[in-house]
Structure 1
Amino acid sequence: MKTIGALNQNDAVDDSTRSIELVARGAEACIYRTPSGFLKERPKKSYRHPALDKELREGRTTREFRILQKAHSLGCHVPGVQQLDKTRLLLVEIQGDPVHAVIDQSPIIAHQIGREVAKLHQAHIIHGDLTTSNMIWRDGVVTLIDFGLAFSSQRVEDMAVDLHVLHQSLSSKHHGIEQYAWRHFLQGYRMWDGASEVILRLRTVQSRGRNKGS
Structure 2
Amino acid sequence: MEWHGAEAKVRIKNGRILKERIPKKYRHPALDKQLRQSRTRRESKILEKLHAAQIPVPKLLKSNDENMSIHMEHIEGKPLKEVFHEKPLHYAKEIGILIGKLHTADIVHGDLTTSNMVLHPHKGIHLIDFGLSFFSTKEEDKAVDLHVLDKAIEAKHYQHYPKVMQLILQAYKKQYKLSQPVLDRLKAVQKRGRHQQKKI
Report how far residue 195 of structure 1 moved: 1.4
Tell me the alpha carbon deviations over residues 69-104 of structure 1, each in whole angstroms, 9 at most, x when there is no partner: 111111111100123411000111101121101112
Q: TM-score, normalised by structure 1?
A: 0.87
Give the match for residue 6 of structure 1: none
Aligned partners of 1:189 and 1:125: how far apart in 2?
14
Structure 2, gaps ≥5 residues long: none
Tell me the alpha carbon deviations over residues 39-89 of structure 1, each in whole angstroms, 9 at most, x when there is no partner: 000022222111001101111000000011111111111100123411000
Q: Which amino acid aligns with 2:176?
A: W
Report how far residue 140 of structure 1 moved: 5.8
The correspondence for 2:156, drawn from 158, 170, 173, is 173
Q: Does 1:77 align with 2:53?
A: no
CA contact (8 A) 2:44 2:63 kept: no
Give the match for residue 201 of structure 1: 185
- Aligned-residue Cα RMSD (Å) equals 1.1
Aligned partners of 2:28 and 2:196: how far apart in 1?
34
Listed as ranges, the matches of 1:1-214 within 5 Å are 21-22=1-2, 24-86=3-65, 87-108=68-89, 109-138=91-120, 139=122, 141-190=124-173, 191-214=175-198
CA contact (8 A) 1:37 1:91 kept: yes
Q: TM-score, normalised by structure 2?
A: 0.93
CA contact (8 A) 2:172 2:179 kept: yes
CA contact (8 A) 2:48 2:60 kept: yes
Report how far residue 199 of structure 1 moved: 1.1
Q: Which amino acid aligns with 2:101?
A: K
The sequence identity of aligned pairs, in percent, is: 42
Q: Which amino acid aligns with 2:57?
A: V
CA contact (8 A) 1:107 1:180 kept: no
**Hey, which bits of structure 1, 4+ residues long, moved more than 2 A?**
none
Report how far residue 105 of structure 1 moved: 2.1
Aligned partners of 1:124 and 1:43: how far apart in 2?
28
- Which of 136-145 and 158-167 deviates more? 136-145
Give the structure with the higher percent helix: 2
Tell me the alpha carbon deviations over residues 142-177 of structure 1, each in whole angstroms, 9 at most, x when there is no partner: 100000000000000000000000000000111100
Q: Which amino acid aligns with 1:45?
A: K
Report how far residue 27 of structure 1 moved: 1.4
Aligned partners of 2:56 and 2:181: how far apart in 1?
24
CA contact (8 A) 1:67 1:151 kept: yes
Structure 1, gaps ≥5 residues long: 1-20
Aligned partners of 2:125 and 2:167: how far apart in 1?
14
Aligned partners of 1:42 and 1:128: how far apart in 2?
17
